[in-house]
Structure 1
Amino acid sequence: MARLNCIIILISIASCVLAEELYSDQYDHIDVNNILNNDKLRDQYFNCYMETEPCLTAEAKFYRDIASEALQTKCKRCTEKQKEIIDAVVDWYTQNKPDKWQKIVEKSLEDMKKKNAGQ
């Protein structure tokens, strides 16, 4: 019985180590289509991400903070809703504002280089 308990504990520890923690789902409720279809809101989120203007909402700041990693890792730590949000953003920008999409990609790469250099 002690051996069985030991095996169960080892499996539990391994599961915890292998499982990556997901991003908080606190802001999963945002209506991404409303943001993307509203020039003013979309520009606020874009400028927040690009760090050319302050983030005006906690949601914008949250997504700014996770977006580079989410894009680089194909949303490895995203909730299902966050994957939908990121997919919607990618689709919208690549179809409607490819020049701004290129800036997002460049910023994402720059952010990841900085993060990797700091580790």
Structure 2
Amino acid sequence: MARLNYIIILISIASCVLAEELYNDQYDHIDVNNILNNDKLRDQYFNCYMETEPCLTADAKFFKDISSEAIQTKCKRCTEKQKEIIDAVADWYTQNKPDRWQKVIAKSLEDMKKKNADQ
């Protein structure tokens, strides 16, 4: 019995160590379709992410900060709603602005290379 308890404790510790903390869900309520269907808003978010203009809202900055990692890790740390948001963005851009989507992917790769170099 003691051996079984020991194994359960080891598995629990390993699970805690391996578990990734999810991104904050504070902005999970945003209406991504409203943003994608509004040229001005969509351009503001895109330019924020590309760092060509300042981020005008806290949610834009939040998504800018997590997007590169989320894209490159297939949303490993995303909440379910964030996965839906990233999927909606990817679908919209690949269908409507594939050149911009390629820029997003290129920037996400560049950002992750920088992040990994800093660690």
TM-score, structure 1 normalization: 0.93
Q: Distance in 1 between matches of 2:104 and 2:18?
A: 30
Quick check: 5-14 or 44-53, which moved more? 5-14
Gaps of 5+ in 2: none
**1:26-81 deviations in Å (ceiling 9; x for gaps):** 11000000000001110110000000111111100010001001100111111110
Q: Distance in 2 between matches of 1:91 and 1:57?
A: 23
Q: CA deviation at 1:12?
A: 1.7
Instruction: Give the aligned length.
Output: 119
Gaps of 5+ in 1: none
Opposite residue 76 of structure 2, the aligned amino acid is: K
SS in 2 for 1:86: helix
Which residue matches 2:26?
Answer: 26
1:94 matched to 2:94? The reply is yes
Opposite residue 50 of structure 2, the aligned amino acid is: M
Q: Distance in 2 between matches of 1:81 and 1:28?
A: 6
TM-score, structure 2 normalization: 0.93
Opposite residue 12 of structure 1, the aligned amino acid is: S
Which residue matches 1:112?
Answer: 112
Opposite residue 102 of structure 1, the aligned amino acid is: Q
Q: Distance in 2 between matches of 1:101 and 1:12?
A: 40
CA RMSD in angstroms comes to 1.2
